[in-house]
Amino acid sequence: MMASHSSRNPSVVGLDVWNRKILARRLLGAEDAAPEDLQRHLKELFPGHAGTAALYLVEHEFIRSPVAPLLAADALDVWNQTLETSAA
């Protein structure tokens, strides 16, 4: 998981066993899933940003609170517009 973050490439999804199980529960409602299935699902849901999304989902599992407070409320629109623009 840290590999996807350290690569600075938001589309790279790094999975280990623990993160794979967290993402399987969050995305598929399953106890576990094949890495290929999770990566495909993440890439479909978050094109171009699957690695960043996976990192946020896993982090959310650990802190038990939304990650949105990392951004000021007025910065959320800018963040979303940036994501939409970069994916186009």
**How many domains in the chain?**
1
Average pLDDT over residues 40-65: 85
CA 63 to CA 6: how far, in whole Å? Answer: 20
pTM, two decimal places:
0.63
Specify the pLDDT at position 82: 76
* 85 has a pLDDT exceeding 80: no
Q: Which domain holds residue 32?
A: 2-87
CA 7 to CA 55: how far, in whole Å? Answer: 13
Q: What is the mean pLDDT of the chain?
A: 79
* Cβ–Cβ < 8 Å for 41, 47: no
* Cβ–Cβ < 8 Å for 45, 53: yes
10-43 pLDDT, tens per residue? 888 888 888 899 999 999 999 999 999 999 999 9
Average pLDDT over residues 35-56: 91
